[in-house]
Structures are given as structure tokens and as C-alpha cells.
Amino acid sequence: MSMPLRPNDATRLGRYELVGRLGEGGMGTVFQGRDPDGRLVAIKMVRPEFAHEPEFRARFRSEVNRAKQVPPFSTAEVLDADPEHEPPYLVVEFVDGPSLAAEVRDTGPLSGAALHSVAVGIATALTAIHGAGVIHRDLKPGNVLFARGGIKVIDFGIARAFEATSQHTRTDQMVGTVAYMAPERFDPADGRPVTSAADIFAWGAVVAFAANGKTPFAADSAAATAVRILTQPPDLSGLPDSLRGLVERSLDKEPARRPTARELLDLLLAGGQSPALAVRPVEADTELVPAPAPAPRRRSRLLAVTAAGTVLLAGAGVLTAHYLAEAPPTDVNVSISRGPGPSVAASAGPASPAASAAAALTAAQKQSAIMRGTHKTLIHIVEADRDLALEQHYSEVIGGDGTGARSEFALVPLGVDFLIRALYDPAPGREVCLGVKIPQDQDLARLVAAECVNTKATVFSLVPTGEFDDKKRPTYGLYSDAYGAVQWSVDDKILYVQELGDAAPLGSFSFVDRGPLPSPS
């Protein structure tokens, strides 16, 4: 159901008349409109601030072209788009029907033939979407509609244009909804592209929701939900035997062990009675190119996140999740095994000895351990060949020589953002993190020592630069969402924080492994 236009809303967009609002979110607004022939359409208008660079428009244009190749029989057909318009917009078929989310909310969980029809309908749509070389990226009950003639899946593919350009999807954002995100999407240090296997995981979560009225990893918060996705088996109660096995396979934490959409559909149509699926290659990003099958591996992940707010772009499939923690974990040790299945152990004492194992870690594994908050790190200022350090009185952060405990830090993951905790605490019971402060007598914000409390001044995001330092370590821009980029002044030899606009940052940072933490960060 559409809502009235607001006083400041346009009444036309290109050749389309705007007649109402369908939703609004962090990336734009969705309008109900009419084409020149009077047909109702859904028009997704991108916010201008997300579309000011040619890179975004090029990706947007590419994804629109891909989405147009998806057969429309079980999806909302892409009708038109204008990436060059100010602002860009996308026009899709208007599907007048309730969503799966609304249906379950209003009438309760599905069962029997109704549940099986939804499972088949979504799998059919994914087969068409993946067959066209597109990945949905935000499959959830709100994007599954009961339309005339059957199930329709909406809002596919275009999210990549936002997700793939860091200037428009900041590192404190993720395209998707936490409860339906595959485990691999929560690992910022992994570096692997999103593949269609993430959509299969979402299929399993959506079908489980349809049967139970709750997601298979449901918890009290998005943070707890993410941890369960990473470490716990799904709750599949309420699923009939004919679907339980397929849903369980789809929710495998290893992408290569999930079925493809085609395999999923074939098994559903066969009643789920089929030999176990073989491990098969997972295609790269949106190009479905066969590749040699990788050996299955279990990745160790640790994530501590809390969702402070989510903004839904209704009908556009773009959800922005801001992860904020109440406080950094300081009294629980969590370890995840690398055995055939994940196991979690929690204790108030120190972690089990790991120094000997750390010596055998690869460079990539060390970087991943730093990002997960399980290893100590030096934070290297690449352009200065210096390392972040607390100055003698702990009030400011300087460029040091990398020696001593004042130069050692640990990242405390907050979803895709971090607290940066100093490992040399000035007093018993007090923890110090990096923060941003604007001195009264200065214009520039400075990087300082602050209490380890999650505030806008202590949360930082890491943006990969695509470059490497002289030791072949990946480099990052270090950003405060509230105050700007952390920069290094070559002339004054100081660190400062400044909003950049469209300018490039004057500093990049790499992370030097200093071994496992004796206790969790």
C-alpha cells in the first residue's frame, strides 16, 4: 500500500508520474508511479550523495543491464533505468501482493503445500537470477511477494552497485539483513567476494522463517544473531522432513558445501529424495564461471556486534546496518575450533596457549586474527614509516618507533567497525581506546586516548586501499564516521582527523602481527 507524496516530493521523474511513496531508507526513496501508458510501476530513486561519482554510475548501469536479463516469470521485472539522471533511478514492475513477512505476521507460519510452494517459488526465482549472472544479496521475507500467479522475488542485483563502491556504502554499512546473511559476509578480513552461495544460505533462513515465524539463528539482538550464524547450528524445529535436509544443507557455514539454486530446485521438485550433494565450485561474484572445486575448509570466525539501528529501503532491497556495541568484551574468552564443526568455549580466564600455533599462521591468517581481535598489532603509518603509540602521559597518540607496550593495540570488532584498544593500560581496571577530540584552541581534531566506551568518537572503520606496504601487508584508510579520516602531517609529524569530502586521505595504515592476545580484547 502506498503512502501520499510529501510536500517536497517531486511529482515527475523522467517520463514517469509519481503518485505515492512505497518506502524510504538510507540509500534512497521508493515511489509508486505511472508510466506514460498509465501502468503502475515502482520507481527506486537513489539519494544524490550516493551517486556523485562516475564509478557508482558505471556499476549501477552494469547491474541494471544484468538485472534486465533475468526472466520475469518469478521476479519483479526491471522495466527501465536512467543512471545519468540527477538523481539516478530504477523502474521495476509493481507487484501488488503481500510479502511473506506480512503473511506470516498476519496469519502465522506456513505448513504443508503452502510452505513447499514458497520454498519452490523462491528457489525458482534464484535459479533465474543466478542463471543471468546476478546475485540477489538481500533475500529476506520482505522481498518475497505473493503475487497473482505465484511467488515473486523482488529487489535483486542492484544492491551490488552500492556494496561494491566503498565511497557509497561506507564500512559501517552492509547491504543485507543480519538474520539472513551468510557467515562469510561477516568476515571483513577474508577478502573473498560475495557469491551466489550467500543467496542459498538466505533461502534456507527464509524457508525456516516461513515454517517457524522466526529465523533459524534468532536471538535478542543483531549482535547475538550474528554470533549464532557464525558459530551455532540452526534451529530447524517446525520444518517438515521433506524440507529439513535441504534447509540444513543450505545453511552450511561453508559456501562450497551448499547446493546451487538449480540443484536446490531439482531436489525440491523430486521431493528432496536424492543422494547427498557433492561439493562443487562456487562462482565468483556475479559472473557464473566454473572453477576447480576448492577443498572444503572450516574458517574460524569471531564477531562481537550489536545493531543499534537499521534503515530499510522498502522495495529496493538495500538495508543499512549500523553495528554498535554496548561495551567491548573484556571478561569472556571465546574460541572457535577448526575441526569438522564449530565449537565455542567461554571462560573468565585467559585463552589456551597458542604461541606455538601462531608461528605457523600464514600472513593472511595473521591479518584475519588481528581483524577478529584475537591478536595484538602494531598500527603502522605507511607514509611515515612510524607506528601509532600513546605518548608518555596517555593524552595523545603519536607516531612512535614501534617499541614498547605503548605501541601495541588490539582491534575490538563491532561488526564491520572497531574500537582500537591500547594494550598498555595506565591504571588497574582502566582500559584505554583511541578516540577523537577537538581541542578548544585548535581547528583540527586529534587522535587521543579515551575511555573504552562505544561512542561516535571511539568507533573507527577500515577501508581497504587496494595497496600494500613494503612488507606486502594490505593497507587501509582509518576513518571516524563522525569526524573524518585519520591523517598524518608530513610537515608537523602529527596525527589528526579531518573530513575529506572528495579528497584522498593523506595517510594509510597497515597492521603488524604481534602474536596472540593473552586474554581477549
Q: What is the pLDDT of residues 13-54, one digit of tens each?
A: 989 999 999 877 656 788 999 999 999 999 988 877 666 767
pTM: 0.53
SS3 304: coil
The pLDDT of residue 341 is 37
Domain that holds residue 191: 12-291+301-320
Same domain for 63 and 199: yes
Same domain for 366 and 311: no
Mean of pLDDT values over 77-83: 87
Same domain for 306 and 361: no
Number of C-beta neighbours around residue 206 at 10 A:
28
Q: What is the CATH number of the domain that holds 175?
A: 1.10.510.10
> What does the pLDDT look like over 349-402, one tens digit per residue?
333 334 334 445 688 888 888 988 889 999 999 988 899 988 766 678 888 888
Same domain for 489 and 367: yes
Q: Does 212 score more than 90 pLDDT?
A: yes
On whether the CB atoms of residues 380 and 509 are closer than 8 A, the answer is yes
The residue count for the chain: 521
Same domain for 368 and 309: no
pLDDT band at 437 (very low <50, low <70, confident <90, very high): confident
- State how far the Cα of 126 lies from the Cα of 392, in Å rounded to an integer: 58
pLDDT band at 304 (very low <50, low <70, confident <90, very high): very low
Q: What is the percent of the chain with per-residue pLDDT over 70, rounded to a whole number?
A: 71
Same domain for 159 and 19: yes
Alpha helix positions (H), 86-143 = 100-107, 112-131
The pLDDT of residue 417 is 86
Same domain for 417 and 443: yes
Same domain for 357 and 312: no
Mean of pLDDT values over 139-150: 89
For this structure, is 138 an active site residue?
Answer: yes
On whether the CB atoms of residues 167 and 461 are closer than 8 A, the answer is no
Same domain for 316 and 334: no
Same domain for 349 and 311: no
Catalytic hit among 138, 155, 172, 469: 138
Q: Quickly list DSSP for 349-388.
A: SPPPP-HHHHTT--HHHHHHHHHHT-EEEEEEETTTTEEE
The pLDDT of residue 157 is 54
Mean of pLDDT values over 187-197: 69
Same domain for 261 and 156: yes
The pLDDT of residue 171 is 35
Same domain for 195 and 61: yes
Residue 167 lies in a domain: yes
Say whether the peptide bond before residue 87 is cis (omega within 30 degrees of 0).
yes
The pLDDT of residue 91 is 92
Return the DSSP state at 302. -
Give kind and range of the element (H or E) at residue 66: helix 54-68
Q: How far is CA 428 from the centre of its chain?
A: 36
Q: What is the CATH number of the domain that holds 455?
A: 2.80.10.50
The pLDDT of residue 400 is 85
Cα dihedral: 45, 47, 51, 57 (round 10): -20
Mean of pLDDT values over 129-156: 86
SS3 143: helix
Mean of pLDDT values over 93-120: 92
pLDDT band at 241 (very low <50, low <70, confident <90, very high): very high
Query: What average pLDDT is seen over the chain?
Result: 75
Pick from 68, 66, 49, 60: nearest CA to 84: 60
- State how far the Cα of 75 lies from the Cα of 150, in Å rounded to an integer: 10
Phi, psi of 77 (to 5 degrees): -65, 135
Q: Does 298 score more than 50 pLDDT?
A: no
Most confident of 291-305, 328-342, 458-472: 458-472
The pLDDT of residue 60 is 74
> Which residues have CB under 8 Å from 401's CB, separation 6+?
386, 387, 389, 407
Q: Does 485 score more than 50 pLDDT?
A: yes
Mean of pLDDT values over 264-279: 66
Residue 4 lies in a domain: no
- State how far the Cα of 133 lies from the Cα of 286, in Å rounded to an integer: 5
